[in-house]
């Protein structure tokens, strides 16, 4: 049994070995791979040797393509789109399974159509044009970093230094246009923009490049982004140097083509290096590793042996890795048992008499499977992790950021789509959570053109001979703010003086051309003026332009040079005095309640003082007069009656405090009514104005109308446009009944000018918005920021206030409006005080009556049981004794009438009777004791 098992196992092993040998025999001895690049170019010289070394390394590695030789077929595209296309077609005739290249994005667009038809994967190590997309070209695969990421890195640098406008200098082909298109989108996301595109046609001569740069230098931006081909790019800086564009104030950001040139050229020509001092250059980031250092040494040795003068650059690393990506994919493809076969394309055939051998172009039958193996690549190469995402881009795009200086360049930071700008290498940041916040973005210091470390402003006023077109509203009113004379240059006023003073503080000249808008007979629409700035009909606008939300969406405003919130102006009139004016401080309700409280307090004090105070006793007529006299004499603190009881004094103190408050309020209100002005329409503030149905005036052409309608929901039918100061005064004087307005809503500076000459109007309520006036410029205009700084400088030096005092004077009419709209005092202002006084009076009465009842109880219990009292308080008992002499009973005050009589009796007499009764009780008790003892 054991021998049988061994036999079965041996047979299985033999079968497996036979199958493996059969599969090995089915693997091709050689697989052809194509390569497309320009041999004599900056990128091509590095890539050609790197690709050849990679093929040698693959064929020497037994773990990859065992038994199969990788055969490389190269074609020179000769830096020509046409020749490159022809060479690509010739390459396809040789039955290659994949193509490494092309180097040019332009050729990439053409050859991608060919490989789509023939199902041959195209793996490019240098075609960075972002428009080479997988959706349009499914067989195109980019093994280097797309310019999509490079342009976002450039936008991050521009945003880091807070520049808002750049000039793009680019080669006018697919590569240049595709990169600049992405740059525009990336800058837009950072609230920046390309202000000028300087396109250089391919193969341009020196004169043409000179013209392009000269026009770019005439623009305001001094931040240049250069995106051209490596082999002709250095001429740009030589020409720019002649145009004096490489000095202080200029910023040059160059894409990775210049890094390839610098790395390939080694120690550069000192003259050429002097042209590029201070530039910021991007380079594809390839992490340091032992394998990279070994490869560079091998490449240098091979280059020396072949007398290659240029050096290695980053594109050579991507070319080397591309060969390994293809080799591994082919290995996986062959390991799966697939065969490499080609078939004729029925749509490609030789036309009669044509020398084009189209029939030799074969379809790779399993191109889809090999493409899928390429997309599944996951390896670590010289460039780091090589892996493709869903968009067929490398998963970890990153760039070194270099600053050219001296004879070389220094590293000032990195950019990656994982963490943005950083001074730490991307491979270190990959181990941490991503952090792309603004505070995390960092770069080392930069030495800018002109050998300065001060960050350039990034723009100057354009030197194209065109002055700044400044719109000025020409209106008939408030000429203190802006006044237009006979000519457009004869513009004066408060806003004009501030604008001119701020312009003079700028460190560069700004010629201005004032363009008046409006005919001077009515106010122009201010929103239309701002819209002209947005449509480039104007460069700026000065005047009383409020900085409000809808305007900031289409224009850029400076720092406000004056506060200008909205206020309400209403007419006032002098109060008419009459014989009964002294009744006006209090309402009728207030008079009635006050008089009632006076009488009530007099009654309370009389009750509390009646039993103990002789001044509150006497005949009924005298007591009634005392109540009224005491009550109303307290109004003047002239009462003659003294209070002797504790409760009476307590109530009187509280009442005198109430009287003091009433007297003070009456005096203040009467003074206000007789001396201050009164509102003619009753408008006292914003809430009162909105709630009423009265017409409202507003300055024509300004934002006030939209604010009243949109924010305060006031019907448009209530709004009356007014243009001049005279219209303001006439409308307010007429009032709502005569076709005028109840109030005018305008900005504070305008209202102050109006009130300086019209004293029968006043500001009512509080300022209910907080705006300011500023100068308007086109969106993201750097001039707005510089002018804001100049305005702050004017403020700090005091010149802003001096200009204000020169043009805007304070109102000459009375400024004290504290008494405007003085109203009569009602019960609502005093009901709490009155209620407190009444409660105290009620409390005192309750304590008083409780004390009376307690005294009455003691008095009743002290009466002798067998004989009536002979005092005035025993009248009732005597009467009872006369009626029923045979049955004498104790004297009891059991009725309400008797209680009232008891309360009316002086407290001193009650105490005497009670003392006598207690003495009689003691005498009788002593006599009874003697009688019992004698018996």
Looking at residue 354, what DSSP letter applies? Answer: -
CB 473 within 8 A of CB 514: no
User: What's the average model confidence in pLDDT over 780-787?
Assistant: 85
Query: Is the confidence at residue 110, as pLDDT, over 80?
Result: yes
Mean pLDDT, range 276-296, rounded to an integer: 95
pLDDT of residue 887: 38
Task: Give the closest residue to 455 by CA, choosing from 693, 156, 250.
Answer: 250
- Cα 448 from Cα 404, distance rounded (Å): 9
Provide the token pair at 215: 């026009």
* 186-204 per-residue burial string, b: 16 or more CB within 10 A, e: under 16: bbeebebebbbbbebebeb
| Predicted local distance difference test score (pLDDT) of residue 676 | 54
As a whole number of angstroms, the distance between CA 782 and CA 193 comes to: 12
- Scan for tokens 């081909």, then name that residue: 229
HEC string of 860-880 equals HHCCCCCCCCCCHHHHHHHHH
Q: What is the pLDDT of residue 868?
A: 44
CB atoms within 10 A of CB 468: 17
Q: In this predicted structure, what is the pLDDT of residue 228? A: 94
Ranges of beta strands (E only) in 560-666 are 562-563, 566-574
- 640 Cβ neighbours under 8 A, 6+ residues apart: 633
Q: From residue 63, how far is each of 123, 323, 331, 538 by CA, in Å?
A: 22, 15, 9, 70
Residue with the bigger pLDDT between 653 and 116: it is: 116
Q: Which residues are paired to 357 by β-bridges?
A: none
In the chain the first and final C-alpha atoms are separated, in Å, by 152
C-alpha to C-alpha distance for 586 and 583, rounded to whole angstroms? 6
Which stretch of 361-365, 439-443, 548-552, 913-917 has the lowest confidence by average pLDDT?
913-917
Find where tokens 């052809």 sit.
Answer: 32
Residue partners of 813: CB distance under 8 A and separation at least 6: 755, 756, 758, 759
> Counting every residue, how long is the chain?
935
Q: Output the CA–CA distances (angstroms, integers) from residue 870 to 299, 828, 863, 864, 887, in the order listed.
A: 145, 56, 11, 11, 18
Would you state the pLDDT for residue 877? 43
Question: Is residue 792's pLDDT more than 80?
Answer: yes
518: left (phi over 0), alpha (psi -120 to 50) or beta: left
Which of 700, 433, 705, 686 is CA-nearest to residue 548? 705
Tokens for 884, please give them. Answer: 């029923």
Angstrom distance (rounded) from CA 77 to CA 75: 6
The predicted pLDDT at position 401 comes to 97
Region 439-448 average pLDDT: 89
Residue 393 has pLDDT above 70, yes or no: yes
Residue 618's pLDDT band, with cuts at 50, 70 and 90, is low
How far, in Å, CA of 126 to CA of 146, rounded?
Answer: 9
Mean pLDDT over residues 795-806, rounded? 92
Averaged pLDDT, 540-564: 93
- 539 with 778: CB under 8 angstroms? yes
Q: Poorest-confidence range of 69-83, 290-304, 514-528, 677-691?
A: 677-691
Lowest mean pLDDT among 572-586, 826-840, 880-894: 880-894
pLDDT of residue 36: 92
**pLDDT given for residue 886 in this prediction:** 39
| CA dist 798 → 424, 462, 482 (Å) | 47, 31, 21
Q: Which position has the higher pLDDT, 351 or 841?
A: 841
Question: Who's near 285: CB < 8 A, 6+ residues apart?
Answer: 384, 398, 399, 400, 414, 416, 425, 426
Could you tell me how far CA 839 lies from the centroid of its own chain?
Answer: 57
**Helices (H) then strands (E): counts for the chain:** 30, 32
Token pair 């004290």 in the structure block, residue: 816
How far apart are the C-alpha atoms of 750 and 771, rounded to whole Å? 13
Strands 556-557 and 30-37: unpaired
CA distance 70 to 57: 10
CA distances from 8 to 3, 5, 11, 15, 917 (A): 9, 5, 5, 11, 144
* HSE-CB of 728 using CA atoms within 13 angstroms: 28
Residue % of the chain over a pLDDT of 70: 79
3-state DSSP call for residue 900? helix
Task: For 726-775, write each residue's pLDDT tens digit.
Answer: 999 999 999 888 889 999 999 999 999 998 888 888 888 889 998 899 99
Take residue 654 and report the two structure tokens written for it: 């509280």
544-578 exposure pattern, b = at least 16 Cβ within 10 A, e = fewer? bbbbbeebeeebbbbbbbbebebbbbbbbeebeee
Instruction: Give the tens place of pLDDT for each residue, 159-196.
Output: 999 898 999 999 999 999 999 999 999 999 998 999 99
* Helix (H), strand (E), coil (C) string for 405-427: ECCEEEEEEEEECCCEEECCCHH
Q: Are 37 and 43 in contact (CB under 8 A)?
A: yes
Residue 265 predicted with pLDDT over 70? yes
User: Which of 132-146, 365-379, 689-703, 848-862 is predicted with the least confidence, judged by mean pLDDT?
Assistant: 848-862
Q: Does an H or E element contain 254, and which?
A: strand 251-254
Tell me the C-alpha distance between 738 and 888, whole Å.
93
- Range with the lowest mean pLDDT among 39-43, 80-84, 192-196, 699-703? 80-84
| Confidence check: pLDDT of 203 > 70 | yes
pLDDT at 537 (0 to 100) = 92
Phi, psi of 786 (to 5 degrees): -65, -40
Name the residue with tokens 């003086």: 497
Q: d(Cα 126, Cα 318) in Å, to the nearest integer?
A: 8
Position 21 confidence tier, pLDDT thresholds 50, 70, 90:
very low
State how far Cα 568 lies from the chain centre. 30
Return the SS3 of 72: strand
Question: 3-state class of 933 per DSSP?
Answer: helix
Check whether 823 has a pLDDT greater than 90.
no
Look at residue 167 in the predicted model and tell me its pLDDT.
96
Strands 251-254 and 280-284: parallel
Q: pTM for the complete prediction?
A: 0.66
- The pLDDT confidence band at residue 842, using thresholds 50, 70 and 90, is confident
Q: Which two tokens stand for residue 56?
A: 């040698």
At residue 878 the predicted structure's pLDDT band, cuts being 50, 70 and 90, is: very low
Cβ atoms of residues 659 and 700 within 8 Å: no
What 3-state class would DSSP assign to 287? coil
- What whole-number distance in Å separates Cα of residue 128 and Cα of residue 147? 5
pLDDT of res. 271: 77
- Look at 831 and 348; give whichever has higher pLDDT: 831
Nearest to 375 by CA among 338, 328, 318: 328
| 369-373, 527-531, 689-693, 792-796, range with the lowest pLDDT | 689-693
- Residue 194, classed as helix, strand or coil, is strand
Using 50, 70 and 90 to split pLDDT, how confident is the model at 668?
confident
Cβ atoms of 669 and 750 closer than 8 Å: no
Greater confidence, 560 or 864? 560
Token pair 């795009």: residue: 397
Lowest mean pLDDT among 289-298, 333-342, 533-542, 854-863: 854-863
For residue 354, pLDDT beyond 70: no
Mean pLDDT of 284-294: 94
How far lies 532's CA from each of 238, 472, 527, in Å?
40, 12, 9
In eight-state DSSP terms, residue 285 is -
Dist CA 879 CA 718 (whole Å): 87
**Poorest-pLDDT segment among 214-228, 274-288, 500-514:** 500-514
Give the tokens for residue 177: 């246009």
- pLDDT score, position 782: 81
The mean per-residue pLDDT over the stretch 14-41 comes to 73
Q: Which helix (H) or strand (E) holds 902?
A: helix 896-904
Are 444 and 424 in contact by the 8 Å Cβ rule? The answer is no
Please count the CA atoms within 13 angstroms of the CA of 211 that sit on its side-chain side: 7
Closest by alpha carbon to 475, among 466, 467, 484?
484
What's the DSSP call for residue 809?
A: P
What is the average per-residue pLDDT within 75-101? 87
Both tokens of 872, joined, read 């005035």
Would you say residue 917 has pLDDT above 80?
Answer: no
Q: Which residues pair with 221 in a beta bridge?
A: 459
The larger pLDDT score, comparing residue 445 to residue 680, is at 445
Q: Has residue 413 got a pLDDT over 90?
A: yes
Q: How many CA atoms lie within 13 A of 344 on its CB side?
A: 9
Strands 468-473, 540-541: pairing is parallel
pLDDT of residue 890 exceeding 50, the answer is: no
């Amino acid at each position: 049994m054991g021998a049988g098992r061994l036999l079965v196992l041996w047979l299985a092993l033999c079968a497996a070995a036979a199958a493996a040998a059969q599969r090995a025999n089915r693997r091709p001895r050689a697989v052809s791979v194509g390569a497309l690049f320009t041999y004599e170019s900056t990128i091509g010289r590095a890539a050609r040797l790197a690709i050849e070394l990679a093929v040698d390394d693959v064929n020497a590695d037994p773990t990859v393509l065992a038994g199969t030789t990788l055969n490389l077929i190269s074609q020179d595209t000769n830096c020509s789109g046409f020749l490159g296309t022809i060479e690509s077609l010739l390459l396809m005739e040789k039955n290659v399974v994949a193509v490494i290249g092309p180097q040019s994005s332009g050729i990439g667009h053409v050859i991608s159509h060919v490989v789509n038809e023939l199902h041959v994967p195209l793996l490019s190590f240098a075609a960075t044009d972002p428009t080479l997309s997988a959706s349009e070209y499914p067989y195109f695969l980019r093994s280097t970093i797309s310019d999509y990421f490079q342009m976002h890195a450039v936008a991050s640098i521009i945003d880091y230094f807070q520049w808002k406008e750049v000039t793009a200098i680019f080669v006018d082909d697919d590569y240049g246009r595709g990169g600049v298109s992405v740059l525009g989108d990336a800058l837009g996301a950072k609230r920046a923009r390309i202000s000028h595109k300087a396109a250089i046609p391919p193969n341009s001569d020196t004169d043409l490049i000179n013209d392009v740069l000269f026009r770019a230098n005439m623009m305001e931006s001094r931040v240049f982004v250069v995106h051209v081909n490596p082999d002709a790019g250095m001429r740009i800086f030589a020409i720019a140097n002649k145009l004096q564009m490489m000095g202080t104030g200029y910023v040059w950001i160059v894409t990775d083509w210049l890094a390839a040139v610098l790395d390939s050229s080694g120690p550069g020509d000192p003259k050429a290096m002097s042209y590029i001092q201070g530039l910021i250059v991007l380079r594809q980031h390839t992490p340091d590793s032992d394998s990279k250092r070994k490869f560079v040494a091998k490449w240098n040795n091979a280059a020396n042996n072949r007398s290659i003068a240029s050096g290695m650059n980053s594109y050579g690393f991507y070319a080397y890795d591309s060969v390994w990506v293809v080799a591994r994919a082919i290995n996986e493809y062959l390991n799966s048992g697939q065969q490499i076969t080609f078939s004729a394309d029925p749509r490609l055939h030789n036309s009669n008499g044509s020398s084009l051998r189209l029939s030799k172009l074969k379809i790779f039958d399993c191109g889809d499977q090999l493409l899928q193996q390429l997309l599944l690549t996951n390896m670590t190469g010289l460039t780091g992790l090589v892996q493709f995402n869903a968009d067929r881009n490398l998963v970890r795009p990153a760039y070194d950021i270099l600053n050219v200086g001296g004879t070389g360049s220094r590293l000032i930071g990195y950019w990656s789509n994982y963490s943005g700008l950083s001074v730490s290498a991307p491979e270190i940041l990959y181990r941490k959570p991503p952090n792309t916040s603004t505070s995390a973005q960092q770069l080392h210091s930069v030495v800018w053109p002109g050998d300065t470390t001060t960050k350039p402003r990034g723009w100057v006023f354009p030197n194209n001979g065109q002055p700044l077109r400044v719109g000025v509203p020409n209106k008939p009113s408030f000429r203190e703010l802006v006044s237009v004379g006979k000519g457009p240059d004869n513009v004066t006023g408060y806003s004009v003086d501030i604008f001119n003073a701020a312009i003079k503080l700028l460190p560069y000249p700004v010629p201005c051309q004032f363009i008046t808008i409006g005919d001077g007979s009515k106010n122009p629409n201010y929103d239309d003026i701002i819209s002209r700035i947005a449509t480039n009909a104007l460069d700026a606008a000065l005047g009383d332009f409020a900085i409000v939300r809808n305007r900031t969406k289409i224009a850029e405003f400076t720092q406000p040079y004056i506060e200008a919130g909205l206020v309400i102006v209403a007419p006032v009139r002098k109060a008419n005095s009459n014989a009964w004016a002294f009744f006006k401080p209090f309402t009728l309700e207030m008079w009635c309640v006050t008089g009632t409280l006076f009488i009530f307090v007099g009654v309370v004090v009389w009750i509390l003082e009646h039993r103990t105070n002789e001044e509150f006793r006497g005949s009924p007529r005298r007591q009634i007069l005392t109540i009224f006299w005491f009550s109303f004499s307290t109004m003047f603190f002239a009462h003659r009656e003294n209070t002797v009881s504790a409760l009476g004094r307590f109530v009187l103190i509280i009442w005198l405090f109430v009287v003091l408050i009433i007297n003070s309020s009456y005096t203040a209100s009467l003074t206000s009514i007789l001396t201050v002005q009164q509102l003619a329409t009753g408008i006292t503030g914003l809430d009162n104005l909105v709630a009423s149905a009265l017409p409202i005036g507003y300055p024509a052409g300004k934002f006030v109308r939209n604010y009243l309608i949109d924010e305060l929901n006031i019907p448009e039918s209530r709004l009356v446009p007014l243009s001049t100061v005279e219209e303001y005064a006439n409308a307010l004087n007429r009032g709502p009944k005569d076709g005028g307005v109840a109030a005018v809503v305008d900005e504070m500076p305008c209202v102050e000018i109006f009130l300086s000459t019209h004293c029968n109007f006043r500001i009512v309520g509080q300022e209910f918005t907080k705006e300011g006036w500023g100068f308007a410029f086109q969106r993201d205009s750097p001039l707005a920021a510089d002018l804001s700084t100049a305005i702050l400088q004017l403020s700090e030096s005091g010149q802003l206030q001096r200009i204000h005092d020169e043009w805007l004077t304070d109102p000459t009419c009375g400024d004290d409006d504290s008494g405007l709209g003085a109203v009569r005092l009602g019960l609502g202002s005093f009901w709490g005080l009155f209620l407190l006084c009444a409660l105290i009076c009620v409390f005192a009465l309750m304590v008083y009556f409780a004390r009376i009842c307690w005294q009455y109880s003691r008095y009743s219990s002290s009466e002798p049981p067998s004989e009536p009292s002979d005092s005035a308080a025993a009248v009732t008992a005597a009467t009872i004794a006369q009626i029923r002499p045979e049955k004498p009973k104790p004297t009891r005050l059991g009725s309400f009438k008797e209680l009232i009589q008891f309360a009316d009796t002086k407290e001193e007499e009650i105490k005497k009777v009670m003392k006598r009764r207690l003495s009689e009780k003691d005498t009788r008790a002593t006599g009874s004791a003697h009688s019992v003892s004698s018996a």
